[in-house]
């Protein structure tokens, strides 16, 4: 316990805060299509997803090891750098949640860490070959693979059931969606919860509390799983609306196909230690499912905004992480306190803006767009 300094404790709490934002930011990955098709009621969906995210956190630690000893040199990393990287990731998650954009929490975390370590330890502190191998290549390949698989599965689903009664097909695929959406949630826990485990483990290694190349302790696994599960249960309704209604008008066979394809890609990559973006995988699956149904409408404008967010996530989070690391590096604990206060103020402002046009469980399916008001609404409502 002598190694757990005040700054290390702050980093651990900040990492769990990121894990929480990761949960509500990425709830849509698993449950957006099931909520959109009516396979699950919104509150039931986020409860199932939250529980299975916790379970999934205990199934594997390969991705956690990629974070703690893969993309950065753990011998050069300090707790202050990790704190700065987490600030960049959290603020990007909150901003994209406000805009209803399903960007990658994973890439926000990677970008924040890379920017902070680059500023704090120099470019040799970042393993750019591992970043390309474990992050960038999967980022390009995974949504394409999931999209093609979902396209084929959707085509086959409609082909096979072409002569069946429409209500029977809908009912059957809605039941299938309960299983497939649950598997996506389980897969999300095996991938995204581990990223926070990896960050906390990296912090403990940098502080000397764990040995080089150590895996995450049980208490780290448990706390990360619970944090992402709680965030998932609260439901990121703004992003659920975009993914469930914004990309395409989803039907139950498409939802099942998208979820099944996404689960396969996520679980395979988690086994191989690829820290991919579950958001990009699931978005690719939904787009593929939209293209697989004849005469389905795909909203390419929404898809284009999502892709733009994907492209700038890494550099934007890296910029904030780098600036934060510079302040912490020169200001020490006082610098960390300044960054924490600024981040808290920005986060509070984002939450306040979201309350001007709230998206909740009871109105998540009313439209396919997430808009922002510049003035407060006349009626009083609760934000989500």
pLDDT in tens, 141-198: 889 999 999 999 999 999 999 888 888 899 999 999 999 989 888 888 877 888 888 8
Q: Is 248 helix (H, G, I), strand (E, B) or coil?
A: strand
Torsion angle in degrees (nearest 10) through CA of 26, 325, 110, 3: -90
Phi-psi category of 238—alpha, beta or left, where left has phi over 0 and alpha has psi -120 to 50?
A: alpha
| pLDDT over 70 (residue 292) | yes
Which token pair is 110? 């990677």
Which pLDDT value is given to residue 383?
46
Which pLDDT value is given to residue 78?
87
pLDDT tens-digit readout, 7-60:
888 899 999 999 999 988 888 888 888 998 888 999 999 999 999 999 988 887
Which one is predicted more confidently, 296 or 208?
208
Average pLDDT over every residue of 60-70 = 65
Average pLDDT over every residue of 200-225 = 86
Cβ pair 261, 288 in contact under 8 A: yes
Cα gap 182→255, rounded to integer Å:
12
Check the CA dihedral 311-316-321-326 and report its sign. positive
Cβ pair 313, 107 in contact under 8 A: yes
Which token pair is 35? 């909520």
Residues in CB range of 253: below 8 A, 6 or more apart: 154, 157, 158, 161, 169, 173, 293
Cα gap 212→201, rounded to integer Å:
10
Angle at 66 (CA atoms; ends 119, 16), nearest 5 degrees: 75
pLDDT tens-digit readout, 85-99:
999 999 999 999 998
């Amino acid at each position: 316990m002598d190694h757990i300094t005040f700054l290390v404790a702050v980093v651990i709490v900040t990492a769990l805060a990121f894990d929480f934002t990761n949960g509500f930011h990425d709830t849509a990955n698993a449950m957006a299509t099931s909520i959109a098709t009516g396979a699950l009621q919104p509150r039931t969906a986020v409860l199932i997803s939250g529980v299975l995210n916790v379970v999934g956190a205990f199934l594997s630690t390969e991705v956690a090891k990629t974070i703690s000893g893969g993309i950065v040199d753990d011998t050069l990393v300090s707790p202050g750098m990790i704190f700065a990287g987490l600030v960049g990731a959290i603020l990007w998650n909150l901003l994209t949640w406000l805009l209803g954009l399903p960007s990658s929490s994973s890439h926000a975390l990677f970008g924040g860490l890379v920017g902070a370590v680059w500023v704090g330890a120099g470019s040799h502190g970042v393993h750019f070959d591992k970043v390309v191998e474990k992050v960038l290549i999967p980022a390009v390949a995974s949504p394409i693979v999931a999209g093609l698989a979902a396209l084929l599965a959707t085509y086959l689903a409609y082909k096979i059931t072409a002569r069946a009664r429409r209500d029977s097909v809908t009912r059957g695929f809605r039941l299938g969606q309960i299983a497939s959406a649950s598997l996506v949630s389980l897969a999300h826990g095996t991938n995204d919860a581990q990223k926070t485990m990896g960050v906390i483990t990296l912090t403990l290694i940098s502080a000397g509390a764990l040995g080089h190349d150590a895996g995450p302790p049980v208490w780290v696994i448990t706390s990360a799983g619970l944090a992402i599960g709680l965030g998932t249960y609260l439901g990121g309704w703004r992003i659920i609306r975009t993914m469930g209604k914004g990309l395409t008008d989803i039907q139950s066979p498409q939802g099942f196909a998208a979820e099944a394809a996404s689960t396969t890609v996520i679980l395979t990559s988690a086994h191989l230690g690829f820290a991919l973006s579950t958001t990009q995988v699931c978005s690719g699956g939904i787009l593929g499912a939209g293209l697989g149904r004849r005469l389905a409408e795909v909203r390419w404008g929404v898809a284009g905004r999502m892709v733009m967010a994907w492209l700038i996530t890494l550099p934007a989070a890296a910029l904030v992480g780098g600036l934060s690391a510079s302040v912490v590096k020169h200001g020490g604990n006082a610098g960390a306190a300044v960054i924490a206060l600024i981040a808290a103020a920005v986060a509070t402002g984002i939450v306040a803006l979201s309350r001007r046009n709230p998206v909740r469980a009871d109105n998540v399916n009313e439209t396919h767009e997430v808009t922002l008001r510049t003035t407060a609404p006349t009626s009083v409502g609760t934000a989500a």
